[in-house]
Amino acid sequence: MSSHHESILREPLITGKNITYTKITDDVLWPVENKPNRAWWIGFIVAAMGACLWLFAVSYTFWNGIGAWGLNKTVGWAWDITGFVWWVGIGHAGTLISAVLLLFRQNWRNSINRSAEAMTIFAVICAATYVVSHMGRPWLAYWPLPLPNQFGSLWVNFNSPLVWDVFAISTYFSVSLVFWYVGLLPDIAAIRDRATGLRKRIYSILSFGWNGSVKTWQRFETVSLVLAGVATPLVLSVHTIVSMDFATSLEPGWHTTIFPPYFVAGAIFSGFAMVQTLLLVTRKVLGLENYITMFHIESMNKIIVLTGSIVGVAYLSEFFIAWYSGVEVEQYTFIHRFTGPYWWAGCMMYGCNVLMPQLFWFKSIRTNIAISWCLSIVVNIGMWFERFVIIVLSLNRDYLPSSWAMFYPTWVDISVFIGSIGVFFTLFLLFIRVLPSVAMAEVRLLVKTSSEQSKKKLIAEGRIKSEEAEYYVESLEKFDSVEQADYVKI
């Protein structure tokens, strides 16, 4: 099986010369087995400062209550739920890459799934911290659990989407964690078997005693496939249920049936943007250009333009239905996104999410690393504004004009948000230092089938039709890690 060659017309998934199983292990474990460089320390210190800010701001919130935030009687949900939905959405791309692309046998997922899944877990942690801190009385956080009457309330109301959300997010987090960790076992074992002393002991405990025997691998493959099978509907259900927190209310701008698919598409859209933001930097800093290639970058940009356009269609249908419904309040909510006092937030939302990603129709932009990175940041900003617009702009001017009010964030709101980004990056930077950021076992599968060197060898041996070889060499032009000149002499 491993000698099966992929079609020459497909672009390679691993580039570089002399890629052996040994070299893959050395390359991927380099940041784990060596002292971190200056770039890592700078990033880590900045991120850790953010995390400290988060700690301070959340402690301040717990001490003083959520009155420390800028909420008022009209706008009772603002940056907290915006931040929550933003983070949960970001998490979705990791599961999409690891589960959905596994079911579709997309081998390019092999080199990005590990870090994307780690991103999922850290993003859901950030989202969960918002849930706890917006409760006001976090020591009563166990109230949404189905506990009996003696605890002071009835059973929880299972008709409420907020209760569904508790189950959805906690299931999503725990299943993602299990999926990620099972995949990590063979790679942790690889670190263990190369280490000595205390490191060996620590990684030995973490590796659960993995040894790579036939039966272990066979069961591992079954587990991966079934987990992917259940994680796929799970990830779709999670953002569906998040959207129902809004859609089952009677609030204008929230009470729409398009919310579930619209939120899921938006989640994948923002998640891929965050994967792009992280990986473009990671591949450079960790020197993983041969494993996370231009093909991966371009593929992710294609998904961004696709999901961004789906989100655009959802926006259009929202406008149409608001007009078509004939409901005055609903119509006002959508007009007010451009004409009200928050017109700039509306412009950020529609501009960053629908217009800017359309640039990815151009191949030169899709394959330009600097522009791709900037656009991924733009999408992240746009998706934050989407949630802000949906939440605050619906609440601040709804049915009763006498109750209309503006929302102004306090320094606590801002610190909790910036701090949560710090928490996320602290966790991510620790992850790339202590665990392999590329799934080595899965990348090894690609060496013989779809690496650049194996394809080059086939061409050199003259086993490929010349026009097909020519097409293939032409497709290599965009790769920053390939020397096309090497093919001239063949």
Partner 1 sequence: MSNIKYILGLFEDPDDMMHGIDKLQENNISIYDVFTPMPIHGIDAKLGVKKSRLGIVAFICGITGTFTAFGMIYFMMVQDWPMNVGGKPNFAIPDFIPITFELTVLFCAFGMVGAFFFRNHLFPGRTPRVMELRATADRFVIAIDANKGFDSEKVDSLLKEAGAIEIKHNDRKYLSYE
Which residues inside 396-455 make contact with partner 1, applying CB under 8 A?
A: 440-442, 444-445, 448
CB of 52 to partner 1, least distance (A): 30
Take residue 444 and report the two structure tokens written for it. 């090894």
Three-state secondary-structure class, residue 139: helix
Residue number with CB closer to partner 1 (214 or 485): 214
Q: Which stretch binds partner 1 (CB under 8 A): 185-193, 268-276, 373-381, 420-428?
A: 185-193
Using CB under 8 A as the binding rule, whether residue 130 contacts partner 1 is answered as no
Using CB under 8 A as the binding rule, whether residue 303 contacts partner 1 is answered as no
Spatial separation of the C-alpha atoms in residues 461 and 84, rounded to whole Å = 55
Using CB under 8 A as the binding rule, whether residue 216 contacts partner 1 is answered as yes
Please pick, from the candidates 69, 108, 130, 210, the single residue that binds partner 1 as defined by CB under 8 A: 210
Please pick, from the candidates 157, 257, 339, 358, the single residue that binds partner 1 as defined by CB under 8 A: 157
Q: Which stretch binds partner 1 (CB under 8 A): 224-232, 315-323, 359-367, 372-380?
A: 224-232
DSSP annotation of 117 reads H
Residue number with CB closer to partner 1 (204 or 325): 204
Please pick, from the candidates 168, 314, 389, 412, the single residue that binds partner 1 as defined by CB under 8 A: 168
Using CB under 8 A as the binding rule, whether residue 394 contacts partner 1 is answered as no
Residue showing tokens 């940009």: 301
Using CB under 8 A as the binding rule, whether residue 18 contacts partner 1 is answered as no
What's at 359, amino acid-wise?
L
CB of 182 to partner 1, least distance (A): 6
Which residues lie closer than 8 Å to 274 by C-beta, 6 or more apart?
90, 93, 119, 123, 376, 380
* Residues in the chain, overall count: 490
Using CB under 8 A as the binding rule, whether residue 117 contacts partner 1 is answered as no
Using CB under 8 A as the binding rule, whether residue 348 contacts partner 1 is answered as no
CB of 321 to partner 1, least distance (A): 22
Using CB under 8 A as the binding rule, whether residue 233 contacts partner 1 is answered as yes
Using CB under 8 A as the binding rule, whether residue 146 contacts partner 1 is answered as yes
Which own/partner contact pairs does 156-164 have at CB distance under 8 Å and 24+ positions apart?
A: 161/241, 161/244, 161/245, 161/248, 162/245, 164/241, 164/244
Using CB under 8 A as the binding rule, whether residue 212 contacts partner 1 is answered as yes
Residue number with CB closer to partner 1 (189 or 265): 189
DSSP annotation of 144 reads T
Secondary structure element (H or E) that encloses residue 83, with its range = helix 79-95
DSSP annotation of 14 reads B
Burial class (CB in 10 A: 0-12, 13-18, 19+), 5: middle
Q: Which stretch binds partner 1 (CB under 8 A): 5-13, 48-56, 160-168, 472-480?
A: 160-168
Spatial separation of the C-alpha atoms in residues 297 and 307, rounded to whole Å = 15
Q: Which stretch binds partner 1 (CB under 8 A): 87-95, 115-123, 215-223, 368-376?
A: 215-223
Take residue 260 and report the two structure tokens written for it. 């579930």
CB of 129 to partner 1, least distance (A): 21
Using CB under 8 A as the binding rule, whether residue 211 contacts partner 1 is answered as yes
Q: Which stretch binds partner 1 (CB under 8 A): 62-70, 210-218, 426-434, 471-479?
A: 210-218
Burial class (CB in 10 A: 0-12, 13-18, 19+), 409: middle
Take residue 172 and report the two structure tokens written for it. 């999503």
Spatial separation of the C-alpha atoms in residues 455 and 323, rounded to whole Å = 56
Contact predicate 434/464, CB 8 Å? no
Three-state secondary-structure class, residue 451: strand
Residue showing tokens 């659960």: 208
Using CB under 8 A as the binding rule, whether residue 223 contacts partner 1 is answered as yes
Interface residues toward partner 1, by CB under 8 A = 1-3, 20-22, 24-25, 146, 149, 154-159, 161, 163-164, 167-168, 171, 174-175, 178-179, 182, 185-186, 189-190, 192-194, 204-223, 226-227, 230-231, 233-234, 237, 241, 244, 440-442, 444-445, 448
